[in-house]
Amino acid sequence: MSNDLQNIKNRFGIIGNFPALNRALEKSIQVAPTDISVLVIGESGVGKEFIPKIIHSESKRKHQPYIVVNCGAIPEGTIDSELFGHEKGAFTGATATRKGYFEVADGGTIFLDEVGELPLQTQVRLLRVLESGEFMKVGSSQVQKTNVRIVAATNVNMMKAIHDGRFREDLFYRLNTVQIDMPPLRERKGDIHLLFRKFSIDFAEKYRMPELELEPGAVHYIENYTFPGNIRQLRNLVEQMTVVERNREITVEKLAEYIPMETHLPMVVNNQNAQKQSDFGSEREIMYKILFDMRSDLNDLKSLTSELIKNKGTADLSNQEKNLINRIYSAEQSQPVAQNSLLYFEDKSPVVQSSPTIMSNADDSYEDIEEIEIEENRPESLSLQNNEKDLIIKALEKHKGRRNRAADELGISQRTLYRKIKQYNLED
């Protein structure tokens, strides 16, 4: 490690030896003496704010103003005024002329944090400053000059923002003359324990309390945590534990109370959920297919049964019709015999009484599917081979208007019986 890099780390309190971190710091030192624009890319909480400080401190502008502007925290209606200033009376509330940051920081450095949040109108003004060093105050027609070094930072996916029309492409390339990438903490596993110890010392001194120490198991645990909030999250974690915990030796169990184990493997959890969703979708598609096939077969069987009723149980069945009957109600099925009573017509083609359970489920799923029932010609049972209306009347008379018992006698669901009663005007 070069002396310059080590000196920078010592001066700014930067902990870690991860190669990507060292590379980012080295690039900062290299570009500092120039006036080139720099764009710092990295997730929230990775320490992007150190880069512009290093650049400014190592540049010829180090004795001039250094201003930090959080672009995401300034309302859209006032950000132009904040950056470029305004004239008296330029808008409601502008009671006096005001200098903007670009005028105040003339000769120095402006750090535009969260630059991806800038409104499009402000982006146009900023592009002009980068290209010509010129700007105009809000409400003024007078062009002013400024000599400002701009360092910007963002955690936004800039290419996506450009594609979505939220950020100007020309401005991106003006800002991104040199790009510095800050690595997330989860990639710096070897630095996590070092940072924990550094924060523990800092907060122990601040709150005048003993330092926190991690057991070996807790060190392994914390180094394998994903830290979605990066260094900021780790710092807040150490501060909280410094104040709250009485036992200064932190175990795995105690650490897990602050950062639960479930968050260690978010992708695995998501994949499991995705697999469950996929399995559920496949089962649902299979169920739909079964129901649609059942509906088609029942419609065919309905037509066939109507033909048999019309011909009083005798009919020449085609091979297709025989296959339909055998496919749906084959005698080799594992259904109980009581649910599949066989009938033989004059052509000896087997017809099976449909299962009430299957028919009920189909009827609940599709209201327009009617149940088809063919009973054995037994004296104590009603037959649907005769007039349907008369059979329903007889069943209702036999059970003294009790529709549930009449439906059981006819071998159909109550829902179908109610529909038939309404169809034949038998409600009285």
Q: Which residue has the higher pLDDT, 424 or 203?
A: 203
Q: Would residue 411 count as lying in a domain?
A: no
77: three-class secondary structure by DSSP: coil
Q: Would residue 31 count as lying in a domain?
A: yes
Q: Would residue 361 count as lying in a domain?
A: yes
Split into its structural domains, the chain has a count of: 3
Contact indicator for 180, 24 with CB cutoff of 8 Å: yes
Residue 350 has pLDDT above 60, yes or no: no
DSSP 126-165: HHHHHHHSEEE-BT---EEE---EEEEEE-S-HHHHHHTT
Q: Would residue 293 count as lying in a domain?
A: yes
Q: Would residue 236 count as lying in a domain?
A: yes
State the Cα–Cα distance between residues 138 and 103, nearest whole angstrom.
13
Q: By CB neighbour count within 10 A (0-12 exposed, 13-18 middle, 19+ buried), where does 291 fall?
A: middle
Report pLDDT for 405: 84
State the Cα–Cα distance between residues 313 and 385, nearest whole angstrom.
7
Q: Are residues 276 and 219 in the same domain?
A: no
Residue-wise pLDDT tens digits, 164-180: 999 999 999 999 999 99
Q: Are residues 95 and 46 in the same domain?
A: yes
Report pLDDT for 3: 85
Mean pLDDT of the chain, nearest integer = 80
Which domain, by its residues, includes 175?
A: 3-183
DSSP state of 70: E
Q: Which two tokens stand for residue 84?
A: 């470029």
**CATH number for the domain that contains residue 76:** 3.40.50.300
Q: Are residues 16 and 161 in the same domain?
A: yes
State the Cα–Cα distance between residues 164 and 285, nearest whole angstrom.
35
Distances (CA, A) of 370 to 74, 313, 358, 400, 415: 67, 20, 12, 24, 10
Q: Would residue 415 count as lying in a domain?
A: no
Report pLDDT for 56: 97
Among 225, 246, 264, give the residue marking a domain's end.
Answer: 264
Which segment of 77-86, 107-116, 230-239, 360-369 scores lowest on mean pLDDT?
Answer: 360-369
The whole-model pTM stands at 0.61
Among 237, 264, 291, give the residue marking a domain's end.
Answer: 264
Residue-wise pLDDT tens digits, 200-243: 999 999 999 999 999 999 999 999 999 999 999 999 999 999 99
State the Cα–Cα distance between residues 231 and 14, nearest whole angstrom.
11
Q: Would residue 305 count as lying in a domain?
A: yes
Report pLDDT for 323: 66
pLDDT confidence bin for 326, thresholds 50/70/90: low
Q: In sequence order, which ranges of 215-312 are alpha helices (DSSP H)?
A: 216-223, 230-244, 252-258, 266-310
Residue for token digits 């996929």? Answer: 278
Report pLDDT for 340: 39
Among 264, 287, 321, give the residue marking a domain's end.
Answer: 264
